[in-house]
Amino acid sequence: MLRRADPNGGFRMTKRISAKYKIDRRLGENIWGRPKSPVNRRSYAPGEHGQRRQAKPSDYGLQLRAKQKLKGYYGNLTEKQFKACYKEAVRVKGDTGENLIGLLERRLDAVVYRSKVVPTVFAARQFVNHGHVSVNGKKTNIGSYRVKIGDIVEVHEKSRTIPMVLQSIESQERDIPDYIDFDQSKFTISMKNIPNLSDVPYPVQMEPNLVIEFYSR
């Protein structure tokens, strides 16, 4: 992971903090919209040949890129985790692409990230993994836990004064989307509704339809 817990209950940086930016550079897009992304300084791919003119991608290439971008956005999920979301999206009724977005946004680490309690998706996963939140009064440390409408996610009292948490809440870098309710007085988070693609504040264009095509080949 990109942050490591310190003895005081906070998080300290490690030399791997830039690892997430490798995803940005590989894709050539600032997928989280963060000001420190290297793509803000140079938009070409990493490596010796990064500045060469890129050939027009094939349909497969476009589909693969769409998958990598969406998978990377949620903290570089494993292929197993991401494909499980796809299979569930296919199984339930409705538009498969919209279902996929809804399932990804219902991940506990994604819900915590959307509430602005933490600054990044990676920090959200570690925050959950380290046991800083509970769901409906029960300590839950699994980032992939699927939050339901009516669930109450609560940040534990001792975790509310972690400097990273306080700084993230005050940050103007991003806003809390309409489908997330965060009560700062109680440090509770809930989902008002399952979002559609158009509801999610992605800094870049996501194409779940191409992801579906990728797995449907």
pLDDT > 80? residue 59: yes
What residues have CB less than 8 Å from 190, skipping those under 6 apart? 150, 151, 152, 153, 180, 181
Number of neighbouring beta carbons within 10 Å of residue 90: 13
Give the count of domains, the chain: 1
How far apart are the C-alpha atoms of 28 and 109, rounded to whole Å? Answer: 25
How far apart are the C-alpha atoms of 209 and 156, rounded to whole Å? Answer: 38
Provide the domain limits for residue 130: 1-217
Q: Could you tell me the two tokens for 2?
A: 């990109």
Where residue 20 falls among pLDDT bands split at 50, 70, 90? low
Among 48-57, 67-76, 106-115, 147-156, the minimum mean pLDDT is found in 48-57
Higher pLDDT, 202 or 34: 202
How far apart are the C-alpha atoms of 123 and 120, rounded to whole Å? Answer: 5
Helices and strands, counts by H and E, the chain: 8, 7
Q: What is the tens place of the pLDDT at every residue in 142-165?
A: 999 999 999 999 999 999 999 999
Give the number of residues written for the chain.
217
The enclosing domain of 48 has a CATH number of 3.10.290.10
